[in-house]
Amino acid sequence: MSYQSTKISKLITDINSEIYLPGIQREFVWDSDQIVQLFDSVIRGYPIGSFLFWNTRGKFAKNQIKYEFVQHYITEGVYPDEFDHVRYRNPKVRDEFATDLPEKLTLVLDGQQRLTSFYIGLKGSLTERGYRQRRKKTDSWTQKKLYMNLLSNPAKITEDDRKLKYILEFKEPNPSHSASEYWYPVGDILDVETADERYALVDEVQTELEAAGVSNSSINRKYIEQNLNELWRAVHERDTINYYELGSKHNDNVLDIFIRANEGGTQLGKEEMLLSMATAKWSEGTEPIDARKKITTLVDKLNEYDAQAGFDFDIGFVLRNLLTASELSSKYDIQNFSDENLQQMKDVFQDPEFEDALFSTLDLVDSYGLDGHSVSSTVSLIPIIYFFYENDNIKLGWDSKDGRQTRTKLFYWLCTTLLKGVYHSAPYTLINSIRNDIRSAPDGTFPLEELHSTLLSNGKSLTFIEEEVRDMTQKLQYGNKRVEVFLSLLYFPEPASQHEDFEVDHIIPRSQLSQEKLVDTYGMDLGYARRYEKLRDNILNLQFLTPDENSEKSDKDYQEWLKSRHDSQIERHYIPKDEETYSVENFQQFLDRREDQIVKQLLEMSDQIEEQFESEEQSITASGEAAE
């Protein structure tokens, strides 16, 4: 980034010809007092902070969404229809004018409010509504320009909160003069280019005052000269605008730079910027829609769809899926903000299949017995949503062989990616690769083998090794978001739930494993008691039970309940068959036995998956040879 300075008079002439606002900027929000205080500061010679400009060229520049600076600003968005000369929002640079733009365009990343204030004060106007006046009545509004009282004493500071040295006000055109007031249009100083012209202007002001009936003896020529000189110097002489320049090498980082540069106020999220830009673009054309309203409404529908599931989706979730379904990078890259890509996103959003894919995924996750707590990363849902969208929301019924197989693959994929945390690093780069695999797969097929290869190339895997499983069994504790996912995977190839609720139960009750209980009731050594208390919430002491089963277990002695279970139930939950391990005293032995069974199950499951990969690969090879 290079650091440079320039004059206000030089910069102001380039606004809306070479200098524009990028689509990521917000609207102008300053009021008249803030504009006045800005001008007072620059006339005093005070620093007003640095600016940040982004230089763009050629096709890249023309493809960017650009807005003009507001010149004739009206303070509210509802005003008379005939007021076609004022703007509340920044006008968009229309596509048909893009070919007339210069090769190089400067987009303002930081300093929009200040530059707009200069533009309004020097070359524009400000229109305000009278107190409690009707918005649609033309008489309710007054268009004003910025004026400076050349007869004010620049050595005296105003007594109000603004503490102005130079008296500036927005006033109706042609205000009257008096012995204490000569209201000079601040913008006229742009036409005063030389010292001789400035001296001549002082004479003109004095002549006007005399013509207005002000006696020569009461005119303070010194004040006129001082005020005009300082205004002229602020606009024409001083390098007031100190700015950093970004070039094309910063194109991919502009969004991050913009966010950091604007952290002084309310911090903007990248999804807020994308939503703002989508709102601007989607409101155009023959089928305008309000992107902000539509997307926030969809977010609410998703969260309300199964309120008990506890999902907390946000606009970022919808936008990420929208980017993915639109075949764009799911990462918030500046390239995503072109008009063409925003239109592509709009087309996808208006496709009913997109919204249906979101709800199809929620139904599927619910059928697995998972919820907003166990699905620790909503990023993990994006590939599944894309699969449904790409395959026209294929129905995966339990009564269909293909449906069951696909459900099984999706279940395994979701659980393993959550357990292994595959989205913890560079998630959106990975999502783009995953999308390519899903798009390239035959219709209705979830390409688990290809996805496994993609993960391997990214240093990740869909299968387990013994060390990895044992590490999980030692670390996962009750309350951890991955506990339900881990327990669900134990029932592979079928999920624990098929639209049936389950609760996480402590096999050996927590109450039996408190340090106090172990010492006082069972006479256990304090060291063992402390260790057992720490282990009571371990995943190896947890299982899934239906609410009815859990209630039944609570009404009985836990050992009696365990011994009354059918062999199929004992096997289903990987409970050791040796009943001696059910006692509190043998808790460690119980955990060790159960760990061995669980590790064995997950490793066998991984072997089955790898065998399936090999079988599919051989089938594909055979098909290819037959075709030859």
pLDDT at 58 over 80: yes
Domain-embedded: residue 260? no
- Is the domain of 87 the same as that of 20? yes
Indicate whether 230 and 282 sit together in one domain: no
Q: How far apart are CA 137 and CA 134, in angstroms?
A: 6
Query: Sorting pLDDT into bands at 50, 70 and 90, what band is 17?
Result: very high
| Percent helix, strand and coil across the chain, each to the nearest 5 | 55, 10, 35
pLDDT digits (tens, 9 = 90+) for 130-187: 998 888 899 999 999 999 999 999 888 887 888 899 999 999 999 998 988 999 999 9
Question: Is 331 domain-assigned?
Answer: yes
Question: Taking a C-beta distance cutoff of 8 angstroms, is the pair 605, 492 a contact?
Answer: yes
Q: Both 423 and 488 in a single domain?
A: no
Specify the DSSP element, H or E, that contains 258.
helix 254-261
pLDDT of residue 379: 94
- Answer whether residue 615 is part of any domain: no
- Give the separation between CA 354 and CA 326, rounded to whole angstroms: 10
Residues 38, 114 share a domain: yes
Residue 113 lies in a domain: yes
β-strand 51-57 against 542-545: which pairing, if any?
Answer: unpaired
* Domain span at 590: 483-609
Alpha-carbon gap, residue 112 to 553, rounded angstroms: 66
| Domain identity same for 94 and 10 | yes
One-character DSSP codes across 124-169: -EEEEEPTT--TT-GGGEEEEEEEEETTS-TTS--SSTT--SS-EE
Which sign does the torsion angle of CA 83, 87, 92, 93 carry?
positive
pLDDT tens sequence across 256-307: 777 667 655 444 567 777 887 887 788 777 888 878 778 888 988 888 787 6
**Per-residue model confidence as pLDDT tens digits over 492-521:** 887 766 657 789 999 999 999 999 999 999
Mean local confidence (pLDDT), 461-475: 95
One domain for residues 184 and 43: yes
Element (H, E) at 261: helix 254-261
pLDDT at 219: 77
Q: Is residue 7 part of a domain?
A: yes
Domain match, 305 and 442 both: yes
70 and 200 belong to one structural domain: yes
Task: Give the C-alpha separation, 22 to 580, whole Å.
Answer: 72
Q: 289 and 238, same structural domain? A: no
H helices present in 289-351, as ranges? 291-305, 315-325, 339-350
CA atoms of 360 and 55, how far apart (whole Å): 45
Question: Is residue 375 assigned to a domain?
Answer: yes
- Domain check: are 489 and 457 in the same one? no
Q: Looking at the structure, do residues 12 and 152 belong to the same domain, yes or no?
A: yes
SS3 for 550-570 is: HHHHHCCCHHHHHHCCCHHHH
User: pLDDT per residue over 365-417, tens digit each?
Assistant: 998 989 998 999 999 999 999 999 999 999 988 778 888 889 999 999 999 99
Q: What is the pLDDT of residues 315-366, one digit of tens each?
A: 899 999 999 999 998 887 766 678 899 999 999 999 999 999 999 999 999 9
Return d(Cα 354, Cα 295) in angstroms, integer.
Answer: 12
Residue 250 domain-assigned? no
Q: Are 52 and 247 in contact (CB under 8 A)?
A: no
Q: Name the average pLDDT for the chain.
A: 89
Q: How many domains does the chain have?
A: 3
Any domain includes 264: no
**286 and 203 in a common domain:** no
Determine the 3-state secondary structure of 319 from DSSP. Answer: helix
Please identify, among 408, 430, 462, the residue that sits at the C-terminal boundary of a domain.
462
At 114 the pLDDT is: 95
